[in-house]
Amino acid sequence: MILLRIALPAVVLAAATFTPPALSPAVAQDAARGAAIAAERNCASCHGAAGVSELANIPSLAGQPAEFITLQMILFREGLRQAAPMNELSQGLEDQAVEDLAAHYASLRAVAPPDLAPRDAALAERGRALSTALNCGVCHLPDYSGRNQIPRIAGQREDFLRHTLAQYRDSQRRGTDTNMNAVMYGVSDDAIAALAHHLAHQPARPE
Amino acid sequence: MVRTRFAAAGMLAALLLAPAVQAQQAPAAAPAPAWASGREGSGMAPNLAPHAPRLTVTPRDQLPLSSIRLPQGFTAEIYAHGIPGARMMAEGPNGTIFAGSRTIGRVYAITRNADGTTRTRTLLQGLTQPNGLAVLDGNLYVVAINRVLRFDNIEQNLDNPGSGTDLTAAFDLPTEEHHGWKFVTTGPDGRLYMNVGVPCNICDFDRDRFALLVSFRPDGSDRRIEARGIRNSVGMALHPQTRELWATNNGRDWAGNDLPNDTLHRIRRSGEDHGFPYCVGDWADPGAPAQRNCSEFEQPAAMLGPHTAALGMRFYTGTMFPEAYRNQIFIARRGSWNREQLSGFDVVVAKLDGEGRVTAVEPFLQGLRDDANQRFLGRPVDVHVLGDGSLLVAEEQYGAIYRITYRQ
- The strand pair at B272-273 and B224-228 is best described as parallel
Averaged pLDDT, A47-71: 96
CB contact under 8 A, B52 and A178: no
| A196 and A165 Cβ atoms separated by less than 8 Å | yes
Which residues from chain B sit within 8 angstroms of residue A95, using beta carbons? 56-57, 84
Contact B216, B222 (CB under 8 A): yes
Residue A56 has pLDDT above 60, yes or no: yes
Please give the backbone phi and psi of residue B286, each rounded to the nearest 5 degrees, phi first: -65, -15
- What confidence score (pLDDT) does residue A93 get? 96
Tell me the C-alpha distance between B53 and B50, whole Å: 9
Residue A124 CA to its chain's centroid (Å): 19
Q: What is the pLDDT of residue B27?
A: 37
Sequence-ordered list of residues with C-beta below 8 angstroms from that of A1, at least 6 positions apart, any chain:
none
Specify whether the CB–CB gap between A164 and A151 falls below 8 A.
Answer: no
Cβ of A140: how many Cβ atoms within 10 Å? 19
Tell me if chain A has a CB within 8 Å of the CB of B172.
no
User: Residue B143: in which H helix or E strand, if any?
Assistant: strand B139-144
Say if residue A22's pLDDT is above 80.
no
Closest Cβ opposite residue B56 in set A22, A74, A183: A74
Bigger pLDDT: B127 or A9? Answer: B127
CB contacts of A91 in chain B (<8 Å) are none
pLDDT single digits (tens) B34-81: 666 666 667 777 777 788 889 999 999 999 999 999 999 999 999 999
In B, minimum Cα distance to A102 occurs at B56
Length of chain A in residues, anyone?
A: 207
Residue type, A92: G
Please tell me the distance in Å from A180's CA to the nearest CA on chain B: 8
What count of CB pairs under 8 Å joins A to B? 133
Identify the residue among A95, A125, A181, A198 best suited for mutation to test binding to B, counting B beta carbons within 10 A and taking the highest.
A95
Whole-number pLDDT of residue B31: 58
B338 touches chain A (CB under 8 A): no
- Coil, strand or helix at B32: coil
| From B21, B53, B177, residue closest to A188, measured CB to CB | B21
Q: Looking at chain B, which residue has its C-alpha nearest residue A28?
A: B59
Task: Give just the sign of the alpha carbon dihedral B318, B323, B327, B333.
Answer: negative
Residue A10 clears pLDDT 60, i.e. is over it: no
pLDDT tens-digit readout, A177-201: 777 877 887 899 999 999 999 999 9
Residues of B in contact with A21 (CB under 8 A): 51, 342, 374-376
Interface residue B345 vs chain A (CB under 8 A): no
End-to-end alpha-carbon separation of chain A, Å?
A: 35
Q: Do B33 and A183 touch (CB under 8 A)?
A: yes
Q: Which of A200, A118, A22, A86 is nearest to B370 (CA)?
A: A22
Digit-coded pLDDT (tens) for A96-121: 999 999 999 999 999 999 999 999 99
Of B51, B103, B104, nearest to A22 by CB-CB distance is B51
Identity of the residue in B15, B104, B342 whose CB atom sits nearest the CB atom of A133? B15
Inter-chain residue contact B30 with A185, CB threshold 8 Å: yes
Q: Give the torsion sign (CA, A18, A24, A26, A29).
A: negative
Residues of chain B with pLDDT under 70: 1-41
A134-148 pLDDT, tens digit per residue, is: 889 888 999 999 999
pLDDT reported for residue A92:
95
Residues of chain B with C-beta less than 8 angstroms from the C-beta of A138: 46-47, 49
CA B217 – CA B215 distance, rounded (Å): 7
Considering CB atoms only, which of B33, B52, B104 is closest to A78? Answer: B104
Minimal C-alpha gap between B11 and chain A (Å)? 8
Contact A186 B106 (CB under 8 A): no
pLDDT at B16: 44
H-type helices in A54-142, by residue range? Answer: 66-77, 86-89, 95-107, 121-133, 136-140
Query: In this complex, which of A15, A23, A179 lies closest to B45 when CB atoms are compared?
Result: A15
| Cα gap A187→A109, rounded to integer Å | 31
Interface probe with A: pick from B54, B147, B342, most Cβ of A within 10 Å: B54
Measured between CB atoms, does B16 come within 8 Å of chain A? yes
B203 CB near a chain A CB, below 8 Å? no
The CA distance from A19 to B317, in Å, is: 41
**Which residues of B fall within a CB distance of 8 Å from A99?**
56
CB contact under 8 A, A182 and B377: no
Output the pLDDT for position B5.
Answer: 34
Contacts of B64 in chain A (CB under 8 A): 23
Q: What is the pLDDT of residue B177?
A: 80
> Are B250 and B227 in contact, with CB atoms under 8 Å apart?
no
SS (H, E, C) B154-173: HHHCCCCCCCCEECHHHHCC
